[in-house]
Structure 1
Amino acid sequence: MLKLFCALILTLLSYFLSGQGFENKIDSLILTEFNEANVPGGVFLVAKKGKVIYRKAFGRSNLELGTDMATQSIFQIGSMTKQFTAVAILMLEQQGKLNVNDPVSKYIADFPNGNNITLHHLLNHTSGIKDFTKMKSISDIAQKQMSPMEMVGFFKDEPVDFQPGEKFEYNNSGYVLLGYIIEAVSGKTYEEFIKEHIFDKAGMQNSFYATDRKIIKNRAYGYHQKADGYVNKTIINFSVPYASGSLMSTVDDMFKWQVALKGNLLLNEKQTKKAFSKSRLSNGEMIEYGYGWHLKEINGMESREHGGSIFGFKSMGVYIAEKDIYVIGLSNCDCNSPTQIVRDIAGLF
């Protein structure tokens, strides 16, 4: 009995120490970038098989008030918004209200080349439509309140970069169009649809359509880094990035999002598979993008990943289905990217 007891104690001690070692490895990866106390920072979460095994905050959430970052801090997630837009489209398809093979002209009759551009092309960045973030005139509207139709009108008559299906080229305009279509089909605003059909269903109580005016408890403030120090982020009107980049969330809510996707809470298995399936260009070449996710590999294992960047914030999330590992990192300075750190953490597994 004594030998058994000692063996058990040694096993538990070994498990505890290996856990500590693993935590130290994660810490060391994060501290390569987020290694100062009195500057903007970030929050990181790691979950394995549905359970959080690491959650830590680094740096400051507000430099002027000197408040520390907290694990429940709320960040703008930038282009990770596209995951939610893509799933919203698939939800509407599941309800029989649209089809991803529908042409854009079905929803905007006068859209140039709209008979040949499908929702599928918008979802996987193969439409060829001009990306509005690359237009020089973007500064003219960056702080204006724009309706979804006004945003579409801003870029719709621009010359195309290529014909639909010819190339993969990351494109924010396509997701603005998808936001407009979500509103047209559902009869709700994009903000209302995402809250009612995704945030509320997944229990994401600390996720919102971004705003600089509403009081949001635990908000992390965004910063830029200049040669002489940090400055507050550039102000934009969130009706401009809209369905391509205007959501806010926490690491715990983003984990709830992953759990909801894995458990088919929001989509059935068939629709979920569409989001995570690679597609081919017109020349037969396979692209590493589904609907709202990059589909890559980390250490030989398939990964679903996406990052985001918007004034003052950067974000990155990776899911390894084979190991049921989810890693998410959120930063409140666009000078600090969590992208490689998150991928390296996932690689530890």
Structure 2
Amino acid sequence: MAVLQLVERKQVRLDKALVDFVRDHMPQLDPRVTVRHALTMTAGIGDWFEEGSDDWQAEWAVLTSSHPLYLLRSNEDYLPLFADKQPHFPPGERHLYNGAGYILLGLLIEAVTGRSFEEVVADDVYARAGMSTAGFPALDDLGPDTAEGYLTTPDSPTPYRTNHYATTPGAAADGGATCTAADLTAFAHALRHGRLLNDEITRLALTPQVDEREEKVRGYRWMYGFGLTHILDNEGTIVRWGHTGEEDGVSARLYHYPQQGLDVAVLGNISWCAGDMGWAIHDALVGN
């Protein structure tokens, strides 16, 4: 949303080379990669962690043993993990979920506005959407009104342990914000009703851009837009849009159902707990 607001103000063009905004941080970035590619996750660049790997748990263990997670507290901290990686494919060839592109977009926001990424999002997105409790507290400084995340540990003396050493301590532009379910539905409502973007850019923000995968899943075509996943039925009608969120000790879903006019937010503070609830609600709403 913050990037699209810059597009609305004509401070950024979607088809402008991303390197023009982040040259100080990643001068070797392929000049063919555009802002649009990063937003739609079609840039093809190497990620700081390849979430789509078949053996991501083992690869995550290797990463965390070689690069302590407590060092990752700002967007710049992630650059050494992907800046020198080879690209997966030429820009625009296809979609591949990629957090590194959003890290670079966070740096773009700072370069264009002269303000911190967190300040821009808090002022221009959270405040305008009425997300009154959303923010960026660090994992080791959550405050009294934020639930801690927990991991299940069936072979340990206690069934749960906190996620303090299992995930990154600070938010970055690819995730990590803290909010309530009411904040999430307020965001979806504000986006739909033009409180974040003008009519033209709102329509763009809610339009699917690229296929996430070739095959259908659960009978739906899955498409990615600008930070939102859309699922479409056989007639090409958008059944649902939104996004998921998963970290060790954190599980989230935000969905909007256009035909029912409903928002659904599911938050949990145990790993991988929101998905089943999200699908159960989905099936109840659409009758599948």
Alpha-carbon offset, residue 218 of structure 1: 2.2
In 2: Cα distance, 1:185 partner to 1:141 partner: 30
Structure 1 unaligned runs (5+)? 1-86
TM-score by length of 2: 0.82
Q: Which residue of 2 aligns with 1:122?
A: 38
Whether the 8 Å CA contact 1:195–1:208 is kept in 2: the answer is: yes
Do the aligned partners of residues 214 and 159 (structure 1) sit closer, same or farther apart at CA in structure 2, a change above 3 Å counting?
Answer: same
Whether the 8 Å CA contact 2:151–2:160 is kept in 1: the answer is: yes
Where relative contact order (Cα < 8 A, 6+ residues apart) is larger, the structure is 1
Do the aligned partners of residues 115 and 202 (structure 1) sit closer, same or farther apart at CA in structure 2, a change above 3 Å counting?
Answer: same
1:178 to 101, 105, 109: 105
* 1:230 is aligned to 2:160: yes
Alpha-carbon offset, residue 323 of structure 1: 1.8
1:296 to 223, 228, 231: 231
2:195 to 261, 265, 269: 265
Q: Which residue of 1 aligns with 2:279?
A: 343
Alpha-carbon offset, residue 322 of structure 1: 2.0
Whether the 8 Å CA contact 2:243–2:253 is kept in 1: the answer is: yes
Larger Rg: 1
In 1: Cα distance, 2:209 partner to 2:127 partner: 31
Identity %: 24
Q: Which residue of 2 aligns with 1:210?
A: 137
Whether the 8 Å CA contact 2:150–2:161 is kept in 1: the answer is: yes
TM-score by length of 1: 0.68
In 2: Cα distance, 1:138 partner to 1:177 partner: 22
What whole-Å deviation, never above 9, does each CA across 1:206-264 have from its counterpart, x for those lacking one? 1111313435332111100112321111434444x511111001011111111111110
Q: Secondary structure at the match of 2:101?
A: helix
Whether the 8 Å CA contact 1:172–1:244 is kept in 2: the answer is: yes
Normalized per residue, the structure richer in strand is: 1
Q: Secondary structure at the match of 2:95?
A: coil
Q: Which residue of 1 aligns with 2:90?
A: 163
Alpha-carbon offset, residue 88 of structure 1: 0.6
Whether the 8 Å CA contact 1:104–1:111 is kept in 2: the answer is: no
Alpha-carbon offset, residue 270 of structure 1: 1.2
In 2: Cα distance, 1:276 partner to 1:326 partner: 15
* 1:311 is aligned to 2:280: no
In 1: Cα distance, 2:64 partner to 2:28 partner: 20
1:323 to 249, 260, 282: 260
In 1: Cα distance, 2:272 partner to 2:40 partner: 28
Alpha-carbon offset, residue 313 of structure 1: 0.5
Structure 2 unaligned runs (5+)? 51-58, 216-220
Provide the alpha-carbon RMSD of the alignment: 2.5
